Structure 1
Amino acid sequence: MRIIFNLMGCSLGNNGGSLTIIKSANTLLRLGHDVEIADTARNQNSWIPLLVKHRIVKNINDIENADVIIATGYDTVKTTLEYKKNIPKYHWIRAFETWKMNESKIIEKIMKPSTKKIVNSICLKNKFLKYGFDSEIIRPGNDFDIFYPMNIRKDNKKIIIGGLYNNRNKEHRGRKRVDLFLEVAKKLKDILPDKIEIHMMGDDILKEKNIVDFYLKSPSEKEKNKFFNRVDIWVTFSCSEGLHIPPQEAMLSEACVVGVDEELAGTQDYLINDRTGIVLKSTEIDYILTMLKILIFDSEQRNFFGKTGRKKILELGDREENMKKLINIFERDMEKK
């Protein structure tokens, strides 16, 4: 099957969205499909190799003989529908991109057009159902050979609280709630200075060195796995995700994960309160501190969530399993043509 990922106007960079596209395309190639990325700029992702053909085009119809075409970012919907060949045209929606446009424009310009809608998470499916738009869920899958328990957490001298750092811009930092994490971290260190350490990971230059004890900048996947294996409690307050990937990778290492009860937390597919981790009912500081202190002093509960969390992520399947589900959708719709 000849599959085209449309990135015209979006392009590939060092970010989670691009990584998902590259890994999905590479997996489909390994499964025997002819996969190509249509783009308007060169590939700027340096994290992993891109194995499929990456073609810079001015017009989507410069791509020949596609069997299916997939819009990726919101900016690619229009050009996807402009593809002249009568084939299934999809939009794999991986975020509710309010940084691109407001909600009413998302519905008018993204959901109403006639692409077949695929989302990557329960929270996006539920979000669009509120407006009367159904979709199918295809998750990208995880790398079970890259993220796994290393049995080194027991060597920690203190309880390590981990989180994702972002300082790209005010809007992005706000959606990730980095400042909330840092505020909680500072208060925890004031309360329990001899008990905890704060470790963070990201691609930006860390400014808050007085709060963060260890910072891993632009890590390789091998370095990320070791980082997650040191973390006892991974905390995410993010409120604008599709399917949030770092908490899944932390869970695969058997870290205990704490998230938030938000419409677009991006953790609903795997973080189940009191079963696979903790879902905070509030972002009020004293409440967060209380819940985290319980976990800090209860290693048995942390270990339980670590085991059940990893099991849940394994149940969601690896990349090949999930890309085979995507191919099943394509084959079904091609038969209808």
Structure 2
Amino acid sequence: MGERKGQNHYYPPDWRPELGGLNKFHGTHALAERANKLHLGIMVIRFEMPFNIWCEGCNNHVGMGVRYNAEKRKIGMYYTTPLWEFRMKCHLCDNYYEFRTDPKNFDYEVFSGARRQERRWDPASTEQVEATDKNTMQKLLTDPMFKLEHGKDDQVKAAAIKPVIDELSDLQSRMKDDYLQNSLARSIFRTDKKRIKLADEADQALMKKNSLSIQLLPEREEDRRAASLMKYISIESSEDRQKRKRDEIDARPVLPSSMEMQPAAAKIVRNFSFGSPGESSERLLSPLQLGIIPKRSMKSPALSTRLPITAEQPRTVLSLEDAPQPTEEIRPALRTTLVSDYGSSSDSD
């Protein structure tokens, strides 16, 4: 930007070429406000954070690569290399950072206002190319015998790794057709894309069927084997259960039969005792004792003599087998009912 500031500017009428450029004519610097402290040896530059730090003013993390407007000034020399100091203000608080160059270790050092976040690891553990140690580099420059020994070690390492390099070079030479490589890569990509899409559709259908809202993991052979050893019981749905209950109600008779009425009627009076005080109160009562009497017909007068119902009759009949049975000649005319004739004095059917 600085080299374009002198273009397309207005030149006043009193300007002459022998007076120099516009900056000299107006008494300003080409860097404008960046050179306001130039008389103090300070230049404002754009500084990029060389590593991760923790601010000592607000204890916030500042990542590597964050840029600041920093004041740059010279503080000394390391042999023939100048030492520079950079001062900048934190963007989250009023604290100031100060960094200095370290040409001896090819690094920056935090002078004040922050502390460095240490993130160091062994390059061999992350399968990275291990850089030469700084002490080793210093010995290579100053010790000829160490340099000779280091060279022999490098030759041994190169001979050991040469087969691997040759195999990689051969593999690369056999795959020189860019179109074939591109077609192969696209084919693999399409196949994987279709497979992932089908698996995702199956998962979505399963989640919708079972009303799930969790992420499903891919199936494994161990999971299939464990599932095959389990015994599952089919769960009846609410619709099937309701339909089954309705079918049972439809198949049930509206009026209960006489065999169903006997236990029900006996259950009502099960807790009442009859007879002597010593008798058990759990005995069943006969239909005559419960008030269930057969309907008498005028055509069979013998029925009244066969089945007398008087107040003096002792209540010792405990079941239907003990009740007096009608004779063969009046059995066809005997019809039992629970409904009495109300509102009519006729004995006809």
With structure 2 as the length reference, what TM-score do the two structures score?
Answer: 0.17
Of structures 1 and 2, the larger Rg is shown by 2
The structure with higher relative contact order (CA 8 Å, sep 6+) is: 1
With structure 1 as the length reference, what TM-score do the two structures score?
Answer: 0.17
